Structure 1
Amino acid sequence: MLVYEGDKQQFLSDVQDNSIDQKIEMNMWSRLHKRVSQSEEQSWRNSLNYMQNVLLDSEIPNSSGVAIEFGIPNTNKRVDFILTGLDRANQHNAVIVELKQWSKVEPVPYIDQLLEAEIIDVQTRFSHGQQVVHHPSYQAWSYRSLISNFNANVHEIPIHLESCAYLHNYVPPKDDPLKQHYFQSLLEEAPVFYRSDVKKLREFIKKYIHTGDAKQTLYYIDNGEIRPSKSLQDSLTAMLRGNQEFILIDEQKIVYEQILSFARRSKEDGKKRVFIVQGGPGTGKTVVAINLLVQLINDDQVCAYVTKNSAPRNVFDAKLRSGAFKRKNISSLFKSSSAFIEADANNFGTLIVDEAHRLNKRSQLGPRITGEDQIKEIINASRCSVFFIDEDQKVTAQDYGDREQILYWASYFNAEVQEGMLLSQFRCNGSDGYLSWLDGVLGIQEETANPTLEGIDYDFQIVDDPNELRRLIEERNKADDKARIVAGYCWDWVSKNDAQSVPDITIDDFSMYWNLRGDGTYAITKESINQVGCIHTTQGLEFSYVGVIIGNDLRYEKGKVITDYTKRAKTDQSLKGLKGRIKKGDQEAMKTADIIIRNTYRTLLSRGMKGCYVYCTDAGLAQFLKTRIAGYVDEEESPLLAAEKE
């Protein structure tokens, strides 16, 4: 939706008589029902005065279309400025301009790792301090790609889109952080212009806008049908066919077909539907989800893959964008669970929610907590919503998603509900027995069909030295670069704010850092073998081999595996809100903390496809686990157990 629309002549007049900010503010309220802050008004006055100066060029036609604050459908993103017209071949053109008031920019210290993972960040100073943000060229290009991928008129008219960024306050230093060699491909997609580049920006615009269009191109953009473009469909199909990780097997295919039919019916009759899929670790929930995403895009549905945790989104985005399609923008298909607070009803055809047990009740955006209920918002925003869930993988006090809550909100919206189950194990060497054993030794289930690992074909080892754990994982990693070390959150993340700090995790002569700050693809980034992952960067993902460091929050005492919330790191947020209640004697809070710690290790210990190696900081727990691998040890033959019995 266009907040402000006019032609160049009208725009210049509105800026010159100081009414431009008032008109935008009134339209924001009348069209979007949004109130704006004083800082937003001030930014319009500042930036649009600079754009006025750019457009004071007689060769830029007066009848060129001007749009300000164009809302990109199905997102909460708005494009700062669009100028439209016809090129020399009489084709419709639109130039997207991302406006920035930045005056100082600095490179982030770990930029090489970020670029390896294709996360394009720089560091800038705002009034409230320093902040890491996307490169402005990336932002301009991504907005262009969003419009191109989902606006049918862009391809059918067609409309040629270009994009750039204008930093009108920025005077670059000699060694400009924004134009380093690793940003070259971004700058080719969307050039960046500075305070002294007015003439260069004018020439860029005039390459694409030769004659005016009387706002016709704006009309086409604003009224284009919102659906996936054919080029996006073709790219996704080719990518999926070439990726063996996403092939469906057995009941995965059955559940996939059931959901597909469900979603197609919602597209035909407009009725709300909710599909709940339950499945444990390694049963293929994500494989089904990604296949659904691609097929529904090819069905012309506007849909997205949703998780609370950014790690799975980043990894699957990167995997699908590999190869010849690296520059295709499909990041808009991967959304946070907090992205639907302001979404209109049925904005999406289908929303596919992976790791639905990790959903929060309310979304937190920066210091403000907004929204009412993430499950409600997701169901409201889509005709069909699909929830993949495993309630035994809740790992923080804020994890709220469960079957009962999904059914409650489905009933609220009068949605038809269907459920499915994924059972076959495709992780842990296909062994359901290993997961059963894991539930037993962790005390999650009292009775288990597999009290030991006898007869279970899975490489599980307890090691007595964390350096040996590291050696084993590094050796396994040589085969496929898919082995990683992870740990319980029992060590403070000191390096988060100080990259030059001592290593976060130190055990005698062993030391390593937590996973790289800003490394959104820890599971597949090459350098991650030298880092330790945590639950937040690994849940929903898998490795060929996983090395797990179990901290002192899980110990073996007096014949039982116990948890100890006090041994969690101060920087750990997973028990937020529980510790104070526990200190006051709240037994329910104590029970919740106990479950979270056990579930965390259950999740970490089930990440390995072929094997899992474990180091325990508690010697008693290490000894106990050893006795449960090959078979029970008689208590008289075990000095540790015998001493405890006395």
Structure 2
Amino acid sequence: MLLQLSAAELGPLIDVEGESEDTQLTQKLRALHQDIKGRPASPGDIASWNNSIPVVVRALLARGLGGVEVQIEFDLPHTSSAVDLVLCGQRPGTGEDSYLAVELKQVRHASVDPECPVAVDLGYGEGKNKLHPVRQVQRYCDYMKRYIPHLQRIEDPLTGVALLHNARDEHVAALFDLHETAHGWLYTLDDIDRFEGILTSKFTDASGGRAAKALAGGRWYPLRKVTDVARQRSVTGGGLTLLDEQVVAFDRITRRLERAAPLSRVGLELFYDAEAAHAAAPASGRKHVYILRGGPGSGKSAVALELQRELGLKGHEAVLASGSHAYTETLREIMTGSARRGQLAEKRRASCRLYRYFNSFTDASPDSVDVLICDEAHRLRRNSTDRWTPREVRDDDRPQAIELFRAAKVPIFLLDDHQSIRPDEVGTAEYLRELALDHGYSVSVEDLEGTFRAGGSKQYQGWVQQLLGLGTVSDPVGWRSDGRMALTVADSPEQMEQFILERASEGATARITAGFCWPWSNPNGDELVNDVRIGEWHRPWNVKPQHEVPNAPKSDLWSTDRRGVGQIGCVYTAQTFEYDWNGVIIGPDLLFRDGMFRVDRSASRDPGFRGGIEDQVVERCIRNAYHVLLTRGVVGTVLYAVDQDTHNELRRLIPGTIGMQNVDGARPRLTAEGSQLPPAYRTRRR
């Protein structure tokens, strides 16, 4: 969070003094924002601090609740989202810890998207709908209860409200149609007295310091990963909690399915508020292509699996397709692993039907799949031809995406424009959009802007893209911690390995990956070959596909099987997955020269780059591959570069190191050193 003070302490800070346009509180918050996040606060943040926070503080003081602690911009665990205010105090009558999450909106007018009642135009002039503020705070509260153990130990400790303190009821009337719950109530300028009533029902005048400390200082439950929701696909409440743009995207798609049901014969009854889907299905029955674009950890796979899971709970079948062998086989393995006695064959058949590959639809009949969810769509290939394709059809130049468009009544694509890693992979949002329009389909492109990886650090995501020259700016800059994740540099591969093994022994998920700069040999009998060699240190790659070795997982399961920590993973086995601690060895295919990182294709051993592949294509693939490897970590990432000049540059850019410490009186162990290590690392006990 940015700041925590009691309402009584905030009272003197919410007035403007002298010629400044900002309150004393805003001046303080601007300095904290710059210091903690390394960038200036946005105009929207500043306006909220000046105009919105004082409304809440004055309401607390008016009701004699000066002891209530106010946490400003409370960070949600593991994600880039934050609650505007969390009020912490003691509950009347019991004295138990009590909390109120407050989302502040300065809007005066609002309208609801007729096709999606949780997507609203709040008049910000951005040309993009936002998540309904009531649904936003409801999801935030659900998320907090899921990941903060302290909130599960008390009965009904948390309430949520959206406060539109400038708006009159009549000007935002459409927002009241959304169902309210204890985790999400809507208050406007006409409801300030009622809002103050909520405050007195939640808090006494006693100090909220104990409650605030328990909320901000407690540990978090580990982040649920995409494989976790796959394991719990049939469990009510077992899915991932979607937030912000994820909710809007999910709702738009599912409501479109409902409206399309009479035309497509997809009998879906999924929605909590079906009558709110005002728009009728288009009479022409024109097929609509959905594209969801987002960076690493933005929740693409979460949306994909939640869509499939929700459909499954309602008795409807959606197929999830991917171009990743590891991802598809892991999902199949999870499904067959839940088979009871006598069900294995049936489960295996179902898993092969529900989890498929992009090239599985070459001969599919038109509209033979009700809902086709194409995850990892950046791995779409130009066409589905491969070495097993019959000779008589190898000249078919039909794009692979067209096969998917045609096969599905409702085609959905989820992708990252910077994660295609082979020369023949063409999946970008623009490519799919143009192809769909050229073939007469309607298209929508939604962006997922948050992140659930790297401790929710959007700053880290941007830093990686700038480091690798994937964004508009290619100058690498020094890493400045935002307190959400740990980024360190190891002195040697031996030190990195020891650190990763220690984290794994403590119960964290941890892996080492490397650029594809060493040969990848077949097993020598029952033994893996130590192909990755750096000085005296040598380790094997993960098991090659089509091979099995005792005491090591198959390649598809390297990221999720605990035995995977014993091998070095490559980009093909790491993509899609995540683990708490991420060790990355940068090989000699990425070198720091003349002030920037440059690609040396001659150092790559990737067989996909053989032949007449253009240099710019190889460069794109190698940079994207490191983009994938550097963004797998949930808690922290440790780097080591083989090339000395490159390693020196990492040392210059990254202040974090690894050192030997005595922790809590236990035996000395390697720890990540540096300022502002994330709470998920500081406090996690397993």
| TM-score, scaled to structure 2 | 0.53
1:522 corresponds to: 558
Cα deviation, residue 316, structure 1: 3.0
Match of 2:514 in 1: 487
What amino acid maps onto 1:479 in structure 2? E
Please say if 1:622 is aligned against 2:637.
no
Give the match's secondary structure for 1:545.
strand
Partner of 1:294: 309
Q: Letter of the aligned partner of 2:325 in structure 1?
A: S
Cα deviation digits, residues 9-45 of structure 1 (max 9, x gap)? xxxxxxxxxxxxxxxxxxxxxxxxxxxxxxxxxxxxx
Q: Is 1:417 aligned to 2:443, yes or no?
A: yes
Q: CA deviation at 1:613?
A: 0.7
Q: 1:253 and 2:247 equivalent?
A: yes
Residues 500-539 of structure 1: CA deviation (Å, up to 9, x unaligned) = 4641111122111111234121111121111111111111
Q: Return the offset for 1:554.
A: 0.5
Counterpart in the other structure of 1:390: 416
Who is 1:346 aligned against?
Answer: 367
Counterparts in 2 of 1:416 and 1:301: CA distance versus 1, 3 Å: farther
**Cα displacement string for residues 116-153 of structure 1 (whole angstroms, at most 9, x for unaligned residues):** xxxxxxxxxxxxxxxxxxxxxxxxxxxxxxxxxxxxxx
Checking the alignment, whether the CA contact within 8 Å between 2:475 and 2:596 is kept in structure 1 is: no
SS for the counterpart of 1:480 is coil
- 2:332 corresponds, among 306, 310, 317, to 317
Kindly provide the CA deviation profile for residues 526-577 of structure 1, in whole angstroms up to 9, marking residues without a partner as x.
21111111111111111111111111000112332111001011xx233244
Q: Distance in 2 between matches of 1:501 and 1:296?
A: 42
2:379 corresponding residue in structure 1: 358
Amino acid at match of 2:241: I
* Residues 10-29 of structure 1 mapped to structure 2, 5 A cutoff: none
The count of residues paired between Structure 1 and Structure 2 equals 386
Please tell me whether residue 563 in structure 1 is matched to residue 599 in structure 2. yes
- Give the conservation status (yes or no) of the 8 Å contact 1:488–1:549: yes
Report the 3-state secondary structure (helix = DSSP H, G, I; strand = E; otherwise coil) of the residue aligned with 1:489.
coil
Write the mapping of 1:125-144 to structure 2, written as runs, cut at 5 A.
none
Alpha-carbon offset, residue 596 of structure 1: 1.3
Q: Secondary structure of the equivalent of 1:305?
A: strand
How much has 1:321 moved relative to structure 2? 5.2
Q: Which residue of 1 aligns with 2:467?
A: 441
In structure 2, distance between residues paired with 1:414 and 1:299: 31
Task: For residue 446 of structure 1, report the CA deviation from its aligned partner.
Answer: 5.4
Name which of 322, 340, 356 aligns with 1:307: 322
* Aligned counterpart, 1:460: 487
The residue that corresponds to 1:168 in the other structure is none
Secondary structure of 1:395 counterpart: coil
Kept after mapping to 2: 8 A contact 1:351/1:384: yes
Matched position secondary structure for 1:246: coil
State how far apart, in whole Å, the 1-side matches of 2:507 and 2:337 are: 17
1:245 Cα deviation from its structure 2 partner:
6.4
Cα displacement (A) at 1:302: 3.9
The 2-side partners of 1:373 and 1:497 are apart by 40
One-letter code of the match for 1:293?
Answer: Q
Deviation at 1:629, TM superposition (A): 1.9
Please, which of 582, 585, 608 is the counterpart of residue 546 of structure 1?
A: 582
Higher helix proportion (structure 1 or 2): 1
Q: Could you tell me how far apart the structure 2 residues matched to 1:273 and 1:244 are?
A: 30
Taking the aligned partners of 2:251 and 2:532, their CA distance within structure 1 comes to 46
Unaligned ranges ≥5, structure 2 = 1-228, 265-284, 546-553, 657-686
Partner of 1:381: 407
1:286–1:460: structure 2 CA closer, same or farther, 3 Å change rule?
same
- From 591, 597, 608, the counterpart of 2:633: 608
Superposition deviation, residue 603 in structure 1: 0.8
- Give the secondary structure class of the aligned counterpart of 1:471: helix
The letter of the residue matching 1:342 is D
Residue type of the alignment partner of 1:392: H
Residue 4 of structure 1 is matched in structure 2 by: none
Q: Which residue of structure 2 lines up, in the alignment, with residue 574 of structure 1? A: 608
2:549 pairs with 1:534: no
SS state at 1:495 partner: coil
Find the aligned partners of 1:426 and 1:538 in 2 and give their Cα distance.
Answer: 17
Equivalent-residue separation in structure 2 for 1:595 and 1:407 (angstroms): 21
Q: Which amino acid aligns with 1:494?
A: S
- Structure 2 CA distance for partners of 1:299 and 1:391, relative to 1, 3 Å: same
Quote the Cα distance in structure 2 between the aligned partners of 1:373 and 1:462.
Answer: 43
1:480-499 deviation line (CA, Å, top 9, x unaligned): 35211111111111135765
| CA distance in structure 2 between the partners assigned to 1:268 and 1:559 by the alignment | 59
2:557 is paired with a residue whose SS is coil
With 523-532 and 498-507 compared, the bigger mean Cα shift is at 498-507
Look up the SS of the partner of 2:360 in the other structure.
Answer: coil
Out of 457, 471, 491, the position equivalent to 1:431 is: 457
Q: Which runs of 5+ in 1 are unaligned?
A: 1-234, 582-588, 632-646
- Asked if structure 1 preserves the Cα contact closer than 8 Å seen for 2:371 and 2:410, the reply is yes
8 Å Cα contact 2:474/2:596 also seen in 1 = no
Aligned to 1:106: none
Shift of residue 463 of structure 1?
A: 1.1
Q: What is the alpha-carbon distance in structure 2 between the residues aligned to residue 628 and residue 305 of structure 1?
A: 40
Contact 1:301 1:350 in 2 (8 A): no
One-letter code aligned to 2:589: D
TM-score by length of 1: 0.56
CA RMSD of aligned residues (A): 2.6
Following the alignment from structure 2 to structure 1, what is the Cα–Cα distance between the partners of residues 231 and 600?
48
- Aligned partners of 1:394 and 1:596 also within 8 Å: yes
Letter in 2 for 1:343: A
CA distance in structure 2 between the partners assigned to 1:276 and 1:449 by the alignment? 30
What fraction of aligned residue pairs are identical, expressed as a percent? 27
1:275 match: secondary structure? strand
Q: Give 1:402's aligned residue.
A: 428
